[in-house]
Amino acid sequence: MIRRVLVFPALSVLCVLPAIGASVRELRPFTHIAEIPAGSDISSIRFEGVKIVKVATESKSVSDERYCEQVEMREPGGSERCPYTERQSFTPAYQVTYSYQGQPLTSDEYGSGYFTFSVYLRPDDLSPAVRQTLAEHKLAKSDTAGFFELRTSTSQSQQVVVDEASSKFCDGNFMDGAWMRSDPKCEDRISTKTVAGSSPYITVKVDPAVPTTASNSHR
């Protein structure tokens, strides 16, 4: 008896995966600098505490092109996942926190003027003796504050504004919501100039300081 065996060619399935792009950006958490709004009461800045935390040193953005294209067709506003950003490469740091009094936010129904900011220091920024003291002893805020030196500064910012004296504006009127020139042949000539203005922020810099006498006594 002869048996006939049917052999079917193998089928290869091609799976097309969505194009996914990723980019990594380096973060700089150890600048020792924070910014608070101009107009804040710098005399109200108070030390609140210091603790060991982990901070990210990189930010990774991942974008799924196919998913994002579908979302854009359904939702003009897009999605928070386009791209999706996550922090990575965490490292130990000392988080130093201060409070201050500033202008209340318009969105705050209670009108609170209490705010906080934090800066981050590398463990190596502090001496071994200071790190040991912070780890082994519960100090008063005033004593712990002595481990850090705080300075404030206000810088000037450059702003580009319209130079009205050197500019020419054509006369006209609004008609049906559009600006119509009285003389169709007239052309506006806009000149700009750079002027110095106050920065909208106060820069606060926190650096390690020489340990206080109180902290030396706990060595």
The predicted model scores a pTM of 0.66
Q: Which of 186, 195, 200, 187 is nearest to 162 (CA)?
A: 195
The residue ranking higher by pLDDT, 76 or 66, is: 66
Determine which helix (DSSP H) or strand (DSSP E) holds 10, and give its type and residue range: none
Q: What's the pLDDT at 22?
A: 76
* 121-133 pLDDT per residue, tens: 999 999 999 999 9
Per-residue pLDDT, 79 = 59
Strand pairing partners for 148?
208
Asked if pLDDT for residue 115 goes beyond 90, the answer is yes
Determine the residue type at 35: E
Answer whether the bond into residue 200 is a cis peptide, omega within 30°.
Answer: no
What was the pLDDT predicted at 14?
44
The span from the CA of 51 to the CA of 93, in Å, is: 8
pLDDT in tens, 84-100: 788 999 999 999 999 99
Band (pLDDT 50/70/90 cuts) for residue 30 is: very high
Separation of alpha carbons 156 and 80, rounded Å: 35
Q: Would you say residue 31 has pLDDT above 60? A: yes
